[in-house]
Structures are given as structure tokens and as C-alpha cells.
A and B are shown apart, each in its own frame.
Chain A
């Protein structure tokens, strides 16, 4: 063979490179392997990866503000939040348009709850405003209708704004029983003449046909259209004279008269609904949360708030989350530590007993796994309460006076006791399986070399069991850092974890963004600790067995 003189890649018998030939040979195998894991892979993707990705996204997502108040947020871009004055009247007019549409679509309350997380009171402000904003533009509607009966009928407006082919289709649909209503089409060219009114009508028509599911021919036009029409006509658009459409004449007549119309001061109108609308606080919050993505949730999670001037620490009495994070980490460490202290001797005994006895004891260790978590935790509630079994026993033994029974539950002690018990098997099992692999001859060797029992254990046995401690600690720590049920039941107020707060935001306050940000931070902390652990102990030193 001339392999020694061959410098290029190794070639297979047919002249292709050995590498590609090998790849081809392995491809079938790989595909088969992939097929085998595919169900699990898909399951994990759908139930694990996707929710986590969604959670991470939710923690920064903030589209609701700009989606619900698109015109207002755009106009607010020029407003200086530091200035002493409230935004310009145009902003209030834009707010009127946005609020009107949002109210019709019933989105204003959702936005209200969203902004209420940042400033209390916004929720009720929006709910109140939603009810009243519909009346605001009626001043214009009334004046148009007084001017000409033409403006009273929705059909006339449809004829004016709708494209002729749509009108024909709509008319045909009105008399037939076909399901789908012909989709509204704006008369071409009209948007240059009546830009605001066209837009308003378009929104109205699409909403009526779509979300509302009503017959556009029979619907009553929004007051918003009239105020928009007023704005368009006041500007005396150039194309109006040449406009050829049903109602063009009425339009021109109205254009000649709009100068005399009574106008609405939107700023004053909003102020009349609630004077909060002319306070800078509300507007600052709206402006701060205008962008589509925000770090506001994350700032909230670390006891800061997002203000127009940048992030600021919350007031001392509003701080909560950093304390909770620290408490969660600290208590998880304590729980992990007590699991090591309690689990190590048990694992050692299990590993050194004859198989028959060890199996029996192992069943006792595993027994808690077969009991419902809720039952076990509730049992601790019975055990630990002031009139509970443990206190009764201590009092009976005379160790504790009857009037100073120990507070063992609804505080950190309760959480630590109950969680240590619940997570103990997760420490014992990896410890046991690692200790099982340490031959007893090591201890004998150490003793024969002159080591006392303690030295032999500490210098020979213990270092070899460290991988088990590592595996058990990671398991227990990561499980406890995200534990929810037990702290909820026995933790009271001082023994709760960050997970309880997350659960509160998910199910009670419905502030999912904040819950997601807290969860994301928790995830980051776990990953960070895992990384640190890998750097210090080395993840290769973690063994769950063999």
C-alpha cells in the first residue's frame, strides 16, 4: 500500500473520500436513531422548549400598548416627559380615536389592567373613559345630521365610502343567504380626499363585518367617523371639488359649513372624565411603555421601576423580589445542606449493608415517593403546628413550656423541615449509587496504611463520594429553588419562595409578564449556578451511579 506517501484525504475503494463514504454508511443508522427519539423530541419541544421560549418572550413583550393606542403612542414620541406640561391637544385627539376604537373592540380594559401594574388606578381610569369616550364625538355627528338628513343614514355613508363593486356585492349578499359577507373595500381615491374619515370608516367597516360579525348595511356608523370627517373637511381638501361619488354634493355642502361648527376640546373632555388624564403620571407611564419591547418586567423583578428618566430603585417599602430571591437561594442552600447531613449516613449504611437488608431499607427511603406530595406536606402541618404532635411531645417531656410552644410552621423553619424531608430521597439515591461503587478495600487499605477510622473516611472514602454529593446537591438545590406547593402550605409569609410569587402573578394578579421575568431570572440563576458548579467541581464529577 502507498498510504504513507498519500497526502490528500483517505480514499475509499470506489475513489470517494473515506469520510463521505463513512457518512453515507452511518446515515441510515443515524436516521433510525433519530426516528426512535423523535416522539420524545417532539414532546419535549412542544411541552418544554416552546413554553420556556414563550415565557422568555413574554417577559419582554409589550405590544399591547402600541397595538391598542397606535396613534397616541406615535404622537407621544415628541412629548418631553420631563416637561411640566401635559401633551398637546393633538395627542388627546389621537387618544380619542384610539380609545374609541379600543372601546368598540373591548380592548381598553385589557390595556388598563396592563398599565395598572405600573401605575395603580389606570385600570379604573380606562374603564371609566371607555364608557364615556363614545359620547365625545357626538357633537360633530349631531351637527352633520342637523345640516342634512343625508348623514343620518348609514347606507348613505356606505355608498360614499364603499367601492362600487363592493356595494354591488353587498347588495347581492343582503338578499341572499350566503354565509360570508363581502369584505368592505374603500372607494379608490377617497383616502387622498378624506384621509382621516376614510381610515376611520375602514376600521369601522372591517370591525363591524369582522369581529362584530354584523351586517354593515344595517349598522349604525361610529361617531368617530363624523369627527374625522369634520377634521378632513375643515382642511378644505383640494380633491373635493372633483369628487364623483354618491353624496359628493352633500359632502361639498358640508365642507362649506364646517367652519361654523362647534368644536370639541378633547383635552377638556378627557379632563372631564377624570382629572388623572391631565396628570403627567399617566402620560409618563404610557410613554415609558410605548415601545413594543420593554425591560420593565425585569426591572420590576429586581425591585426597580422603569421611569421616563431611566430605571430607578423602588422605595424601601415597595421592595420585595430581591429579598425573595435571596431568601429562596438561602433556604435552598440550607435545605441542600441538611439533606447532605441527614442523607449521607443513611446512604452509607445502605451501601454497606448486605443486599437483602439494604433493599428493605431502600424501600423505606423510597416510600415517601409513593405518597402524595400534598399528603406528606399536610402531614407536616399536623406535626408541626403549635398544638401539633411535636410541640405536644416536647411539652409532655417538659422541654418546652406550655405557654411558649415553638413556632415550627408558617415560617422558614416549617419550610426547611418539610422540604428537607420531601427532597431527602433525591440526595440519598445518587449518594447511595456512588457509594455502592466504592469498594470496601479502599477503607481497609487506608487503615492498613496506618490511618485512623476518621482519617480513612475523610481522606479516602469521602473524596470518592463527592461526585454523589455533587449530583445530589444539584438535584436537591435545583428542585428546591423552584419548589412551590410545600412553601405555599407550610411557609406562611416568611417561608415562601419566589415560586409562590410567580404563581401569584400567574393565577391571581394575572401579570404574566412579571411572572415570566421572575421565572427567566430564576432560570438564569440556576444556569449560572450550574456553570459555577461546573467550573468549581466539574460536571464530570457528578455521578448518578456506576
Chain B
């Protein structure tokens, strides 16, 4: 992976109706070989970005560069970008082999070379025996594999995937997630992947761009995104999250003291707050909450909580608490032999490490 920008968005804006911006001032650059996921709720502008990159939409303003060259005025068929669509878009009137042959034929590649490439591409997705079938004779997972093979068969350096696994069931999705990442790394291709499934984004990507309201809210590797969300939207959107609201009392030594709306005090790491008196939203991951006093630091602030619900989920326990006047506070504990199973109605004290608790924008 080199760090030279392969795909670049510079101050890109897009509007469909001339009144509202779907994409607002997008700046993004990714190096060759990276697997970047655009993640966001529907209407956040992520698919529009992908379509602009593919050439099916034109940017209202700004520059999109591929390999250092502006592609704003290059028609889609000359961009040489592979694309996998959500509904596969396999041509129903052609066999699997003909589908794969199509991009090679329009590139005027000779017959024998075509056949070799098709064979390699099909074997790569373990579909070597299906060359003569029609798309309608294949299952969803098989069709997706063929769509992938077709997007790769002409050896593009950049492949775009628009929610390719959206229509598949959970298990198949997980298998294909693994296969796609594997293939991408093996071939060294650059992938821009669009999804609204955060698990998919976290497990597959080198970096994830979280979209909301036409902007990238955070662009970071999965672990950083999960553990160090930069604003409350990202914290909410990625994974499960507990939110408490309050006012910053003081900030010192890289730690903030936050007074919650019910008056209780907690420690947090200041991220988007700078001075006392600011309102803030404090975010704590459910698995970082501790209720075993022995494991908490002696000077840590604790909150009293009432157990509302205990859910057994196999590998973990999920317990819902009432904390600081909110009853949607969730903690997750591992199903370990020594783990205490809380009972509804029980009163407990909860706490956490100050660095796990992030004071974000209100």
C-alpha cells in the first residue's frame, strides 16, 4: 500500500434539485489497495458519492480524481472502474460465461484470451462449474459471486460495490464478506464499498467513512471508529452505545468532570468539549461499564443504578438499567463462570475508566 492518493474527492458537492445539497463539501482521498467503506444511514449521500465516482452522476461542484487525473468529464465506460450492484445486475439473457465475456468483448480481447480470463475469474469465486447457467438458475449468493467475478474479470484497479450483500441472508453475507476482503487483498485492488450495515463495515474495511447529512462525519480504521468516535453521531451509529447528557464542570489533566442532568458527577475524556459550562453528551460502550466494585479505581465516580431487565444472549448477558433518570442504559457482560447474573429490581453501583467515557458534542 503506498500513500499516494489513488482516488481523490476534492470539495465535491452534489445537488439534484438545485435547492438542497445531497453531498456537502466532500474531501476524501484513498491510496491504492485500500478497502474503504462508506457507511451511513439511507439518504446520507454515500451512494451518490459512489455514483459520482462511477460516472453515473455528475458533481455539481468540485473535482474527482483517479490516479491524479480529473475524471469529471470522462464517461463511465472509459473510466475502467469495476462495479458490483445491489441487485447484481447480471444480464438475464446471457449465460454466466457470456456475462463475464461482455466486458472483455467490448475491450476487443481475443477469444482464447477471453476464455482463459473467464475461467480464472470463475475459479476465483468457486463458480467454475456454472459457466453455462443463466443468472435466473442461480441462487442469490451464486449470483453475487458471478457479479463479483464480472466486475473483476477485466482487471480494474478500482472496484465499487453498492451494498452488494444487502439482499442475502446473514450467514451467506458473513461468508461473502470474508471472501470479498480476501479477494481484494489478494488482487491488490482498491475497493470503495457502500453499506448501511455497520458490522459489515467494521469487519471488511481498512478504513470506514461514516456519512451523515452529506458529510463525512469520521474517517478512520474500524477499531478507532468504534473505540474513539469523534462525535455523538458516530458514537450512536457505530455499535451499541450509552448516552448520558450533562454539563462540563471542569477540565483538567485531560479529564473532564461532567455533571449529569440529575446532579450526579462522572469522569469523562473531553473530545468535543473545551471549557466548563458547555453542554455535552457522554458516550460509554456497554461492555466498558463495570459494576464490580473491586475492579473499579478507588477514586472513580460511580452512579447508582437499578436493574430493569436481564437478557440472556448466550455468549453475553445484556442488562438494562435505569441510570440518572434514563432507563435505556445497557451493559454487556461476558458469560464467564464467575460472572454475577443481575436480577431485575436489584440496586447496583456502576462505574468506568475515564478514558472509556467520551464527552462529545451535545
Which residues on A are within 8 Å of B, measured CB to CB? Answer: 439, 441-442, 444-453, 455-456, 459-460, 463-464
B150 and A449 within 8 A (CB): yes
Which residue of the partner chain, among A447, A459, A464, contacts B92 with CB atoms under 8 Å? A464
A441 and B87 within 8 A (CB): yes
Lowest 7 CB-CB distances: which A-B pairs, in order? A449-B103, A445-B89, A448-B83, A441-B89, A447-B76, A463-B93, A450-B106
Q: Is the C-beta of B85 less than 8 angstroms from some C-beta in chain A?
A: yes
Q: Is the C-beta of B80 less than 8 angstroms from some C-beta in chain A?
A: yes
The CA-CA distance from A465 to B151 in the complex, in Å, is 24
The CA-CA distance from A269 to B291 in the complex, in Å, is 134
14 contacts between A and B (CB under 8 A): A439-B87, A441-B85, A442-B89, A444-B89, A445-B83, A445-B89, A445-B90, A447-B77, A449-B82, A449-B150, A450-B77, A450-B154, A451-B103, A464-B93
Which residue of the partner chain, among A439, A452, A459, contacts B89 with CB atoms under 8 Å? A439
- Over the window 118-160 of chain B, the binary record of Cβ atoms lying under 8 Å from chain A Cβ atoms (1 yes, 0 no) is 0000000000000000000000000000000011001000001
The total of interchain contacts (Cβ-Cβ below 8 angstroms) comes to: 68
- Residues on A with C-beta less than 8 A from B312 are none
Instruction: Report the minimum CB–CB distance from B48 to chain A (whole Å).
Output: 14
Q: Is the C-beta of B56 less than 8 angstroms from some C-beta in chain A?
A: yes
A459 nearest in chain B by CB position: B102
The CA-CA distance from A460 to B54 in the complex, in Å, is 19
B76 and A444 within 8 A (CB): yes
A460 nearest in chain B by CB position: B91
A466 nearest in chain B by CB position: B93
- Residues on B with C-beta less than 8 A from A456 are 77
- Residues on A with C-beta less than 8 A from B81 are 448
- Residues on B with C-beta less than 8 A from A449 are 77, 82-83, 102-103, 106, 150-151, 154
Instruction: Report the minimum CB–CB distance from B158 to chain A (whole Å).
Output: 11
The CA-CA distance from A460 to B106 in the complex, in Å, is 12
The CA-CA distance from A303 to B55 in the complex, in Å, is 64
Q: Is the C-beta of B170 less than 8 angstroms from some C-beta in chain A?
A: no
Q: Which B76-108 residues have a C-beta within 8 angstroms of A?
A: 76-83, 85-87, 89-93, 102-103, 106-107
A444 and B106 within 8 A (CB): no
- Over the window 249-272 of chain B, the binary record of Cβ atoms lying under 8 Å from chain A Cβ atoms (1 yes, 0 no) is 000000000000000000000000
Instruction: Report the minimum CB–CB distance from B61 to chain A (whole Å).
Output: 23
Known: A449-B106, A450-B107, A451-B106. 17 other contacts (CB 8 A): A439-B89, A441-B86, A441-B87, A442-B91, A444-B83, A445-B83, A445-B89, A446-B91, A448-B76, A448-B79, A449-B103, A449-B151, A450-B80, A450-B103, A451-B103, A455-B106, A464-B92
- Over the window 64-86 of chain B, the binary record of Cβ atoms lying under 8 Å from chain A Cβ atoms (1 yes, 0 no) is 00000000000111111111011
Instruction: Report the minimum CB–CB distance from B121 to chain A (whole Å).
Output: 12
Instruction: Report the minimum CB–CB distance from B101 to chain A (whole Å).
Output: 10
Of listed B78, B93, B150, residue having the most chain A CB within 10 A: B93
- Residues on B with C-beta less than 8 A from A453 are 75, 77
B92 and A448 within 8 A (CB): no
Instruction: Report the minimum CB–CB distance from A438 to chain B (whole Å).
Output: 9
The CA-CA distance from A444 to B86 in the complex, in Å, is 12
- Residues on B with C-beta less than 8 A from A448 are 54, 76-77, 79, 81-83, 151, 160
Instruction: Report the minimum CB–CB distance from A148 to chain B (whole Å).
Output: 97
Instruction: Report the minimum CB–CB distance from B148 to chain A (whole Å).
Output: 12
Of listed B56, B75, B107, residue having the most chain A CB within 10 A: B56
- Residues on B with C-beta less than 8 A from A452 are 77, 106
Of listed B82, B89, B103, residue having the most chain A CB within 10 A: B89
Instruction: Report the minimum CB–CB distance from B17 to chain A (whole Å).
Output: 12
The CA-CA distance from A455 to B103 in the complex, in Å, is 11
A441 nearest in chain B by CB position: B89
With A449-B102, A464-B92 known as contacts, the answer to whether A444 contacts B154 (CB < 8 A) is no
The CA-CA distance from A208 to B288 in the complex, in Å, is 118
The CA-CA distance from A476 to B341 in the complex, in Å, is 76
- Residues on B with C-beta less than 8 A from A464 are 91-93
- Residues on B with C-beta less than 8 A from A444 are 54, 56, 76, 83, 85, 89
- Residues on A with C-beta less than 8 A from B151 are 448-449
- Residues on A with C-beta less than 8 A from B85 are 441, 444-445
- Residues on B with C-beta less than 8 A from A442 are 89, 91
- Residues on B with C-beta less than 8 A from A441 are 85-87, 89
- Residues on A with C-beta less than 8 A from B106 are 449-452, 455
The CA-CA distance from A450 to B154 in the complex, in Å, is 9
The CA-CA distance from A445 to B51 in the complex, in Å, is 12
Instruction: Report the minimum CB–CB distance from A368 to chain B (whole Å).
Output: 33
Instruction: Report the minimum CB–CB distance from A452 to chain B (whole Å).
Output: 6
Of listed A445, A446, A455, residue having the most chain B CB within 10 A: A445
Of listed B55, B85, B102, residue having the most chain A CB within 10 A: B102
- Residues on B with C-beta less than 8 A from A450 are 77-78, 80, 103, 106-107, 154
Of listed B91, B150, B160, residue having the most chain A CB within 10 A: B91
B153 nearest in chain A by CB position: A449
The CA-CA distance from A372 to B83 in the complex, in Å, is 51
- Residues on B with C-beta less than 8 A from A459 are 102
Instruction: Report the minimum CB–CB distance from A512 to chain B (whole Å).
Output: 48
A438 nearest in chain B by CB position: B92
Instruction: Report the minimum CB–CB distance from B64 to chain A (whole Å).
Output: 15
- Residues on B with C-beta less than 8 A from A463 are 93
- Residues on A with C-beta less than 8 A from B154 are 449-450
Instruction: Report the minimum CB–CB distance from A275 to chain B (whole Å).
Output: 74
Instruction: Report the minimum CB–CB distance from B102 to chain A (whole Å).
Output: 6
Instruction: Report the minimum CB–CB distance from A334 to chain B (whole Å).
Output: 28
The CA-CA distance from A464 to B91 in the complex, in Å, is 9
The CA-CA distance from A452 to B79 in the complex, in Å, is 11
A439 nearest in chain B by CB position: B87
A448 nearest in chain B by CB position: B83
The CA-CA distance from A463 to B102 in the complex, in Å, is 14
B80 nearest in chain A by CB position: A450
Instruction: Report the minimum CB–CB distance from B104 to chain A (whole Å).
Output: 9
The CA-CA distance from A218 to B89 in the complex, in Å, is 94
A456 nearest in chain B by CB position: B77
B160 nearest in chain A by CB position: A448
- Residues on A with C-beta less than 8 A from B93 are 463-464
- Residues on A with C-beta less than 8 A from B83 are 444-445, 448-449
The CA-CA distance from A442 to B83 in the complex, in Å, is 11
The CA-CA distance from A444 to B106 in the complex, in Å, is 15
- Residues on A with C-beta less than 8 A from B80 are 450
Instruction: Report the minimum CB–CB distance from A444 to chain B (whole Å).
Output: 6
The CA-CA distance from A455 to B77 in the complex, in Å, is 10
- Residues on A with C-beta less than 8 A from B87 are 439, 441
